[in-house]
Amino acid sequence: MRLYEYEGKAIFNKCGIAIPRGVLVRTGSEAQRAAIEIDKEVVIKSQILAGGRGKAGGIKTAETPEDAEKITQEMLGMELEGYKVNSLLVEEKLDIAGEMYMGITVDDENGAPIAMISAEGGVEIEEVAKRNPGGIASHRISPLYGMRSYEAINLIRQIGLTGETLLSASRILTRLYHVFAAYDARIVEINPLVTTSTGAMIAADARCEIDDNSLFRHPEWQDLRIQHIDNPWEREGVKAGVNYVDLDGDIALMANSAGVAMSLLDIIKDEGGHPACFLDTGGALSKERMKNGIALLLRKAKSDPHVKVILVYTSLVFSLPDTVAGGIIEAIREVPADIPIMLISAGEEERRKQVQELLKDSGVKICPSVEKGVREAIRIARQESRNGYIC
C-alpha cells in the first residue's frame, strides 16, 4: 500500500525526521488560509499515489495567499499520471542549497533491506542508476541488527559529505530505517532530502510503501487501505471481500480461485477476447461472497457500456449448488441489469444438474464446457446487441 506524501511526512515527523511546515487542503480557500498561516512563499503539491509530479505539473509555487487559492482551484480535479487530484499539500517553500537522495527498500535477491543514497537528489533514482551508476552508494542492512550509526556514517561518507552534514544525514538515515522497520515498509524514500541555506536538513518529499502482508499488524491502516485504492471498482472489491482487478475489455470474468481466473484470462485472450476484469472470490464460497462478486460485476456492467457479458466459473467440488445458485439469484435480485450471465461449473454431474435446476428461471446460461463458454462469451461480446445469444 502506497501512502500519500502527507501521510509519509506525518510518520517522518513522528520519528524525528524534519519536514517542511505544511497543511493538507481540499479547497482553494483552505489553501489561502494555509498560506496566510505559513506566512511566506509556499509550494503547492498535488497528493496522488505516484511520483514524478514535479515534471507533470503537479507542483507549483505561490507568492501570495491569493495565488495559492487560485493555483489550488486550478489543480483540484486535475488528472495527473492517471490519478485525480483531490487534495494538496501547501508547504513553506524551502530555500534549497542542495538536494540528495536517500532510500531504503527490500533487496529481494538477498532477502534484506538495502539503503541507497545519492548526491543527485530530486531526480528519479532509476534515472541516476542508468546514467551514472557510480553516483549511487548502497549498503545492505542486517534485519537482525538494524541500521547501526557507524554503518550509516560509512555509507553517507561515500557520497562525499563531511562534518556536520555527514552527521545530520546519518542521523536521518538511521531514523529512516526505524520508519522502514516499524511500519513494515517495502520502500521508504526521501527524494529530495534538502539542505537549506541555513544548513538544516529537511525531507522535501516522502514516499512510503507498506507491505500489504503486514497490514494485519497495523489495524490503523486497515480502514485507510480502501482510501488508497484509486480505482472505484477495485475499492468495491475490497469492501466485497473479493480480489478484483479492473481491466478494459468487454467480458467480466469471475472464478472461485485465482488460478482458475488467471487461466480463464489466458484462454479468453488466446481465443481473441478481452476481459473487462479479473475477479477471484477465493475457494470455499459462502453464498454472501458469491452474491457480492456477481453484484459487483452487475454494477460494473451497468455503469460501463463496454461490458457485454459476465462469465462465471465455479467449482462444485468445494461449493454447494445452493450456495452458487442462491448467490447468483440474490445478486440478480439486488442489481437487476440487462446483461447476459454465463456459468461454467465443474464438479460432479449431480451437483451440476442441481445448479442448472435452481437457475432454470433466472436467465443464467449454463455452459457445457470452459471452451464453449469462453467462445460463446467472445461471440456475445463482439455482437452489438446483448440479445440473441445461445450456449
Q: Stretches 93-101, 223-231, 281-289, 368-376: which one binds ligand GDP (CB under 6 A)?
A: 93-101
96 interacts with ligand GDP by CB under 6 A:
yes
> Which DSSP letter does residue 3 get?
P
175 binds, among Mn ion, ligand GDP, none (CB under 5 to 8 A by kind): none
43 binds, among Mn ion, ligand GDP, none (CB under 5 to 8 A by kind): ligand GDP
Backbone angles phi, psi at 45, to 5 degrees: -120, 120
Nearest to 209 by CA among 106, 99, 352: 106
282 binds, among Mn ion, ligand GDP, none (CB under 5 to 8 A by kind): none
Question: What is the closest distance, in whole angstroms, from the C-beta atom of residue 56 to ligand GDP in the complex?
Answer: 8
Residues with Cβ within 8 Å of 250's Cβ and at least 6 positions away in sequence, in order, are 273, 274, 276, 306, 307, 308, 309, 381
Other beta carbons within 10 angstroms of residue 289's beta carbon come to 19
53 interacts with ligand GDP by CB under 6 A:
yes
User: Measured over all CA atoms, what is the biggest interatomic distance in the chain, rounded to whole angstroms?
Assistant: 80
**Contact pick of 122, 135, 146, 283 for ligand GDP (by CB under 6 A):** 122
336 binds, among Mn ion, ligand GDP, none (CB under 5 to 8 A by kind): none
User: Whole-angstrom Cα distance, residue 51 to residue 58?
Assistant: 10
**Contact pick of 2, 21, 23, 54 for ligand GDP (by CB under 6 A):** 54
Residues with Cβ within 8 Å of 147's Cβ and at least 6 positions away in sequence, in order, are 115, 141, 173, 174, 177, 178
94 interacts with ligand GDP by CB under 6 A:
yes
Please, which residue, 122 or 347, has the CB nearer to Mn ion? 122
What cell numbers appear for 211 in the block?
A: 507491505
Helix, strand, coil % (nearest 5) of the chain? 40, 25, 30
Q: Stretches 89-97, 238-246, 301-309, 373-381: which one binds ligand GDP (CB under 6 A)?
A: 89-97
Compose the 191-230 pattern: x for residues touching Mn ion by CB under 5 A, - for all others: x-------------x-------------------------
Q: Which helix (H) or strand (E) holds 235?
A: helix 232-240
Please, which residue, 19 or 325, has the CB nearer to ligand GDP? 19
**Which of the residues are catalytic?**
101, 189
Residues 165-194 that bind Mn ion (CB under 5 A): 191
| Chain centre distance of CA 226 | 10
Summarize as ranges the residues that interact with ligand GDP (CB under 6 A): 20, 43, 45, 51-54, 59, 91, 93-94, 96, 99, 122, 191-192, 204-205
